[in-house]
Amino acid sequence: MADTNTPMANAPRNRRTESILDEEQGKIDEDLPLNSFTAIHQFMRRRSAWLCVAGACLAYIAFIPPLLVVVPLMTHQFCLEWAGGVVEMLAPAANQTRCMGLQPILDMIPEDFYDKATVSNLSSDFSTPTGRVFLACILLSSLALLISDFPFWLPRRWKSKDGQHSVFDSGEGALRFVWLVVGTLSAAIVAVIPSPAEAQGYNVLLTAMHNVGAVVGYGVLVFMELAQLHLGENVFRRARNAIRRYLGNKTIVMIDPDVKYQKLEDKYEKLEEQYKDRDYWELNWDQWLRGAIMIVELATGVTFIAVQGALFFGVRSQAVAYYSVFLETGFALLIYGDLFVMGLHGCVMDIYKVKP
């Protein structure tokens, strides 16, 4: 029976009081597709997940055209070397014609490619198809990731037991904002602002903005994802315990975070206090995959920085330049691969049963 002594129950029935009563019951407006706070929450998480996947896929497309330039360049070089060593004595004119068939693609190579050897250097001329595709896809990717708000909707909180304050009122909220804004917009700066060859005057400023945007933007995406995996989800410690148990250490018990009792032999026993820690919770498939991607990503990134350092100090080699481009491409695809897996998990997960 309803309580008739409350002020709300005795209030006149009008649109305002009905709206308030509906909000108290979790309903906003029955005529709207999103007519409850639960529906809005579910929609926002799905929206964030799909935009995150779309942003990652657009970034993948951006890195395809530069590879379609580098591979013919390598093929052309191989053709010339093979011709000079074997075939030139027999049919020099015919062989030269065969090797020059790739010349239209080679004309898109910047003059300073062997000095910088980066994907953005190959895409710096917006009059070429490579430059236009790279610019459009990176801009759309950054826009999709920016409006997805993925750091606030998809990954878990770093402090799961802190329920007194909103994440926006803490340092974690500020870091997630940096993850979202700086990480995505810096990538857009890299695409929009080229790094001109033999920069002088204002071109020096453009080169500096381009280089700083690349280092800061992709550095933020890497280290914030690393912080999320380590601080927010304890992925590496949980993976270590899971591997130790798989290798035969039966004293380690990995548990489902949704259960409070663990089946030991033929009976259920209440979980010991030590197993309430996240270090002993089972990993989801996306956490295994994101952790593995992060390990390869860090190794690739360190190697790419080392190769770029060699180029900076004067090492000039076609092989080093090709290696640098492939390393940067792999590094970027792994960065966006983390976001792709995070978004994919948000697309397929049960919104009402999200494990930490």
DSSP character string of 283-329:
PPHHHHHHHHHHHHHHHHHHHHHHHHHHHHTT---HHHHHHHHHHHH
Q: How far, in Å, CA of 192 to CA of 190, rounded?
A: 6
Of the chain, the percentage scoring pLDDT greater than 70 comes to 63
199 compared with 316, residue with greater pLDDT:
316
What's the half-sphere exposure (Cβ side, CA atoms, 13 Å) at 173? Answer: 6
The per-residue pLDDT of the chain, averaged, comes to 75
Q: Is 198 left (phi over 0), alpha (psi -120 to 50) or beta?
A: left
How big is the chain, counted in residues?
A: 356
pLDDT category, 51, cuts 50, 70, 90? very high
264 three-class SS: strand
CA distance 240 to 232: 16
Q: One-letter amino acid identity for 322? A: Y
Please give the pLDDT value at position 299.
Answer: 95
The model's pLDDT over 124-179, given as tens digits with 9 standing for 90+, comes to: 778 888 888 889 999 999 999 999 999 988 887 776 554 455 555 567 888 889 99
Which carries the bigger pLDDT value, residue 110 or residue 354?
110
Q: DSSP letter string over 162-201? A: --SS-GGGSHHHHHHHHHHHHHHHHHHHHHHS---TT--T
Please state the rounded mean pLDDT for residues 240-260: 67
pLDDT band per the 50, 70, 90 thresholds, residue 216: very high
Give φ, ψ of 264 to 5 degrees: -115, 115
CA–CA gap between residue 293 and residue 308 (Å, rounded): 22
Q: Is the pLDDT of residue 260 over 90?
A: no
**Residue 288 pLDDT > 80, yes or no?**
yes
- Nearest 10 degrees: Cα torsion 7, 9, 10, 16: 90
pTM score, whole prediction: 0.76
Provide the pLDDT confidence category of residue 112 given band limits of 50, 70 and 90: confident
